[in-house]
Amino acid sequence: MKKLFEKFKESGLLGKVILSLICGSAAGFILFYIFLPPINLQSVGFWLYLTAVIACYSLPFLGIKVNEYVEITKRASGTKKKKNKIDVKYNKWALVAVAIPVTVIILGLLISSEIFNAHAYARVIEVTESSFTDDLPESSEVTNIALMDTQSATALGNKELGSLADMVSQFVLSEYYTQINYKRTPKKVSNLEYDGFFKWIGNRDSGIPGAVLVDPVKNDAEYLEFDEPIIYVESGYFGDDLERKLRFEYPTKIFDSITFELDEEGNPYYIVSCSRPQVALFGASDVEEVIIFDPTDGSSELMAVENAPAWIDVVYTGDLAFTKYNWHGTLSGGFFNSIIGNVGCKMATDDFGYIVIEDDVWYFTGVTSVVSNDLSNIGFILSNARTGEYKFYSVIGAEEHSAMAAAEGEVQEKGYEASFPSLINVAGQPTYIMVLKNAAGVVELYALVNVENYSLVATGNTQAEAMSSYKKLLRLNNVDTGASDKIATVTVENVRVATVSGISTVYITSTSGKVYKGYLETDEALMLIRVGDVLEVSYTEGEINGLYSISEWKFASSQ
């Protein structure tokens, strides 16, 4: 054994082994610490990491062997020609070691591709065809729809942070705003982050103190201070880095998205979606598990998606939701049909909006035929951001960008830009609702556009004002809403004015006990009504029994 070791040492292999262990181990740790790849055979990132590590281990053995020799050739004249040549040889086994993970990546991507697995991609989700009027109740008023995009939310959030002198010098707001349903009210939330490495050093002992909540209905923002500060954030360094903390806790999980949310008590959490490829080795990744991570103390809980608590709003991102729908819509007839024939192929439009239904956030977007040459939709889909459920509504009409252009054209002299719309039901009519922003991203107007006839456009300074104008527009154009306003003669018993979601609302109680409401923004004459007045009221039934929305009214008589 001693002689064998001496020969091994004399050959120079011992030094190479030691150097290999040092280089490979150091590179493996450094690369893992920096890039944080999942230790998972179904992750392309893992195989790339493995390739780099094997290359570092193999580097001392790549050993280039150089042989120098002289080649002598005879010329036709009989003289000899001498030529110096170098024969270069590499260690083929070291090259094979590096080639193995590269081969796995190439073959894995190939056998996981859509060309061989079109139907498997299409079956990743199921889409239920549903009734628009059944699933989206008629909106008699619009005071709770989140229309604000990230640009506008950022402007309001930065303005609120700028008013906090002790915060603005040390922290910045995260560029990522999460759409949540907070205490049954739509909000956009963004947590504070350290403003660079030195601000992290100066504040890491006290942590991140709070977040900013943006109200997309009232167009304002508020600062929310946490009971306990956040320790682990994306702007943290070393052990305080959020993803590094998660990776060391869950080394094998493939993280799809990390979103910041609040529970109903205002406590901060990061919701981490964990995905797994559904097709072959790398194909059709979908979320299967979720980690609820408490950034104040580093505790976490891993659970299946179906067990996620109801207060969580975002498990599936909008981009993932509509990527999966496009698999379903384009690949159900096979891969080559999606390229050549396009029979039955349909796909989602290139952006999405939000709709809050009960306690869940849903993504909304239109669906268009792949072979269609006009700017129209053949329907809409809603996708639940927490459960991943899909619903399709067969409603033919203008696609979202056409409606946005129609709304911008209504006030073209102002140069406002429309946000991506949401979808509501107004008197049985599918209707786009959106905001119009100025160049600074500040919301100036609200707009409603009829889906089936996008020449019908109404705008207003508030959601309620835009809704009132839109309903009048439908009546003036004799649009069949499936129901007509009811008319009643009302004796006023009580009149009250209240501010609801930033809207000045007049509540008129009749002697029969029914309550009628209207909005001062659209009809200041409501302030002239007094107790004892007799009114002729045209109204629609509201979402609450016994509460009715006034369409038109006039005095019949008064005391």
Cα gap 124→316, rounded to integer Å: 14
Q: What pLDDT shows up at residue 132?
A: 85
* Three-class secondary structure of residue 180 per DSSP: strand
Cα gap 427→447, rounded to integer Å: 16
* Four-residue CA torsion sign, 491, 496, 497, 500: negative
Give Cβ neighbours of residue 121 (< 8 Å, ≥ 6 apart): 114, 279, 283, 284, 327, 328, 331
pLDDT by residue (tens digit) across 85-94? 544 455 677 7
Q: What pLDDT shows up at residue 12?
A: 53
Give Cβ neighbours of residue 413 (< 8 Å, ≥ 6 apart): none
Tracing tokens 């869940």 back to the chain, one arrives at 360
Cα gap 36→248, rounded to integer Å: 9
Q: What pLDDT shows up at residue 351?
A: 86
Cα gap 144→146, rounded to integer Å: 7
pLDDT by residue (tens digit) across 309-350? 999 999 999 999 999 999 999 999 999 998 888 888 999 988
Q: What pLDDT shows up at residue 8?
A: 45
Chain center to CA of 282: 22
Q: Which stretches in the chain have pLDDT values below 70?
A: 1-15, 61-91, 140-145, 372-375, 480-485, 500-503, 521-522, 541-546, 557-559
* First and final C-alpha spacing in the chain: 118
Q: How many CB atoms lie within 10 A of CB 40?
A: 15
Give me the DSSP letters along 501-553: TTEEEEEEEETTS-EEEEETTT-GGGGG--TT-EEEEEEEE-SSTTEEEEEEE
Q: How many CB atoms lie within 10 A of CB 360?
A: 17
Token readout for 338 is 């999606």
Q: What pLDDT shows up at residue 11?
A: 47
Token readout for 374 is 């006009």
Q: How many CB atoms lie within 10 A of CB 164?
A: 16
Given a contact cutoff of 8 angstroms between Cβ atoms, the answer to whether 313 and 361 are in contact is yes
* Three-class secondary structure of residue 354 per DSSP: strand
Q: What pLDDT shows up at residue 291?
A: 98
